[in-house]
Chain A
Amino acid sequence: MTSIITIGLVSLFILGVPIAFSLGLASLGAYFFDQGLGINIPIMAQRMMYGINNFLLLAIPLFILAAKLMNTARITARIFDFARNIVGFLPGGLGHANTLASLIFSGMSGAAVVDAAGLGQVELKAMQDGGYDRGFSVAVTATSSTIGPIFPPSIPMVIFGLVSGVSVGKLFLGGVLPGLMMAAALMFMVASYAYKRRYHRDPFPRLGVVFKSFFQAFLPILTPAILLGGIWSGFFTPTEAAAVAVAYALVLGLLIYREMSLRDLVEVFISTAKETAAICFIVCAASFYGWLLMRSGITLKLAAAIAGVSTEPIVILLLMNGFLLVIGCFLEPVVAILILGPVLLPVITKIGIDPLHFGVVMVLNLMIGLLTPPFGIVLFVMVSISELSFENVVRVTLPFLAPLLTVLLLITFFPSIVTALPNLLIPG
């Protein structure tokens, strides 16, 4: 049965059958092979419905909506201006501003693609106007967008919470330190480039200018604090936090800054509903697949087999890193979590690795996959907004994987970077 699912999935994927339909069809095939004509027809539709009939998942459309609203209302531009005033005077200033703006924006958005396509456009334009070469600008924009789903909120973490049962609030908090480390590592990289290539810097800003841009960006910058504070204090659940973010973005865009028309609003709602359906229909199909795997007991056998190789958590984690990095080159993060989560989690728990730790490690692995050929989605976004060829985007982005890989190794070896904060703030 495993072989039917695996071979079926891989060949359907390569043929270009949509992911959701491949998952459904391969699982159906395996189920049919197992049960013959006695298969229970309603079960697939039922599993698919239950797969998304979950309040947790409502966070996905709401966070996509919030981020799109922020982009449409030009709030991202305000954030970038603010970041530029704070770090622009450093060598390679706009590169730092790019990273900092992405970090701030990642506190209100949960998907790297939204960051890359929205804020990324603002960042690229500013860097090109500032005389930076296109390759460097693209590389920084692409890599900094992957902080989005590590620093909370995060759609892949919501999906991991769904698959693993780990509290999403904890996963969110677990991403805070790794997210900050990614930003720091990227800034270090930017500084070394700036030093080598003698990039110019902005003049040291006058205090008045800094204050002005701070006030202009103050309300948006508050968003991460509202979200995290709300989740941490138990004031609202992650899903409700997402609704608050949408409401806040609506108030900022429609009432305070007035940079959004009703027509824009309709556009944003339509495109969000589309993206939601595209992602969540895969969640549906994956839940039938997950149910089938569970029922067959394959995952437990696999867990036992891997535990036979080594029981040293760090060895297993390093093996998983290698595996996930390769998988990440081919699969979208949410898809990879849905397909591999049910397989890998029993292994993780059997060996005694904290699933909270593994969740953040897994998401970071898959984020790096967004930047690697052949299917790195962020690379495609960069091609479409920068007019560089795919080969060029790949070539300039490659060196910037080093800082991300460094952070990945650090959080792999030191679980407490991930687990300390959530365990401190949400005991039990």
Chain B
Amino acid sequence: MKSFLEKLNAFLLLLMFAVTLLQIVARVILKESSVWSEELARFLFVWIVFVGAAALVRDENHIRITVLTGRLPPGACRALRILTQIAMIPFVVVFTWGAYLNMVYNWGVRAPTIDWMRFGYVYLGLFWSGLIMLWYVTANLLKEVLRSWFGHEGNFKTRR
């Protein structure tokens, strides 16, 4: 799934770039400013960020400060890793829940300049991102707990 998300995001990035470029071309060469392009590019950007952020959770590639993690004995380090995964859960839950509510409220709300676009679709990106994060955080947590209980990862394959 992670590889799919990454490719999807690369494609969205390409689209976003193309739309932004089109906006300049339209204005400078065709002398016609397109109002919809800026909005579409922004929505693509929102998707890139949230979907990308979800993909980063799996391999724990989010930016973090690693002052403690590298310097503790293995046992304490493992406990710390479990603790950090648990700490992420309340935030992800409230985020996903909020994204869901926003999605429902805004499902029919039209974007000002794009006919077929609804604000709900933008929040769909957030909601989807939240669900993936929840999945990855839980999986990482379970993996870590199993490893410390049984000394190995049970049925979870090592993915690193």
Footprint of B on A, CB under 8 Å?
A: 12-21, 24-25, 28, 41-46, 48-49, 52-55, 57-58, 61-62, 65, 235-236, 239-240, 242-244, 246-247, 266, 269-270, 272-274, 276-284, 330, 332, 335, 374-375
Q: Does B67 contact A (CB under 8 A)?
A: yes
B64 A17 Cβ-Cβ under 8 A: yes
Identify the 9 closest CB pairs spanning chains A and B, nearest first: A277-B52, A45-B98, A18-B62, A281-B53, A269-B10, A273-B9, A243-B20, A45-B99, A280-B49
Known contacts A273-B52, A280-B49: does B98 contact A58 (CB below 8 Å)? no
B: residues with CB less than 8 A from A are: 6-7, 9-14, 16-17, 20-21, 23-24, 28, 38, 41-43, 45-46, 48-53, 55-56, 60-69, 80-81, 83-84, 87-88, 90-92, 94-95, 97-99, 101-102, 105, 122-123, 126, 130
Taking A15-B87, A58-B45 as contacts, is the C-beta distance between A44 and B94 under 8 angstroms?
A: yes
In the complex with contacts A247-B21, A281-B62, A15-B95 CB distance below 8 A: no
Q: Once the chains bind, are B95 and A24 in contact (CB under 8 Å)?
A: yes
Given A49-B46, A62-B17: A274 touches B52 (CB 8 Å cut-off): yes
Closest to A273 in B: B9
Given the known inter-chain contacts A28-B94, A42-B102, please indicate yes or no for A335 contacting B83, CB distance below 8 A.
Answer: no
Contact A58 B49 (CB under 8 A): no
Given A24-B95, A276-B49, are A14 and B65 neighbors across the interface (CB < 8 Å)? yes
- Contact A61–B48 (Cβ < 8 Å): yes
The residues of B that contact A20 with a CB separation of less than 8 Å are: 53, 62-63
B88:A52 contact, CB within 8 angstroms: no
- B42 near A53 (CB under 8 angstroms)? yes
Residues in A neighbouring B17, C-beta threshold 8 A: 62, 65, 243, 246-247
Cβ–Cβ contact B48 & A277, under 8 A: yes
Interface centre among B24, B68, B101 (most CB of A within 10 A): B24
User: Does A58 contact B20, Cβ atoms closer than 8 Å?
Assistant: yes
Contact (Cβ within 8 A) B6 A332: no
Q: B67 contacts A374, CB within 8 Å?
A: yes
Are the CB atoms of A13 and B49 closer together than 8 Å?
Answer: no
Contact assessment for B24 and A236 in the assembled complex, using a CB-CB cutoff below 8 Å: yes
Query: Can you sample 20 A-B contacts with CB below 8 Å?
Result: A15-B80, A19-B63, A28-B90, A41-B94, A41-B101, A45-B102, A49-B126, A52-B46, A53-B43, A54-B42, A58-B42, A240-B20, A243-B21, A269-B14, A270-B9, A273-B12, A281-B62, A284-B50, A284-B53, A332-B63
Interface residue from A15, A43, A272 paired with B98 (Cβ < 8 Å): A43
Are B64 and A269 interface neighbours, CB within 8 A?
no
Given A49-B122, A269-B13, decide whether A41 and B52 contact each other with a Cβ distance below 8 A. no
Q: Are B87 and A21 in contact (CB under 8 A)?
A: yes
Residue pair B10, A270 in contact (C-beta under 8 Å): yes
Q: A45-B126, A279-B63 are in contact. List 17 more A-B contacts (CB 8 A).
A: A15-B80, A18-B60, A18-B63, A21-B92, A25-B88, A41-B97, A41-B101, A42-B102, A45-B99, A45-B130, A243-B17, A246-B21, A274-B55, A274-B61, A281-B52, A281-B62, A332-B63
Tell me, in angstroms, the Cα distance from A26 to B99 when the chains sit together: 19
Specify which chain A residues have a CB less than 8 angstroms from the CB of B20 in the assembled complex. 58, 62, 239-240, 242-243
- Contact at A21–B12, with CB atoms within 8 Å? no
| Docked CA distance A401–B160 (Å) | 38
Given that A46-B98, A49-B122, A58-B42 are contacting pairs, would A277 and B53 also be in contact in the complex, using a CB cutoff of 8 Å? yes
A273 touches B6 (CB 8 A): yes
CA distance in complex: A383, B142 (Å): 34
Known: A28-B91, A28-B94, A41-B101. A272 touches B53 (CB 8 A): no
* Contact yes or no, B65 A16, CB < 8 A: yes
Chain B's closest residue to A278 (CB) is B63
Kindly list chain A residues whose C-beta atoms are within 8 Å of the C-beta of B51. Answer: 277
- Find the A residue at minimum CB distance from B66: A16
Which chain B residues lie closer than 8 Å to A281 at the CB level?
Answer: 49-50, 52-53, 56, 62
Let me know if A243 and B9 touch, CB within 8 A. Answer: no
| Contact between chains at B83 and A49 (CB < 8 Å) | no
Known: A65-B17, A278-B63. A12 touches B87 (CB 8 A): yes
Given the complex, which residues of B lie within 8 Å of A240, measured CB to CB? 20, 23-24
In whole angstroms, how far apart are the Cα atoms of A44 and B7 in the complex?
28
Cα distance A45–B119 in the bound complex, in angstroms: 13
Q: How far is the CA of A332 from the CA of B62 in the complex (A)?
A: 13
Closest to B13 in A: A273
**Does A282 contact B63, Cβ atoms closer than 8 Å?**
yes
Complex formed: what's the CA distance from A62 to B80 in Å? 36
Whether the pair A15, B68 counts as a contact (CB closer than 8 A) is yes
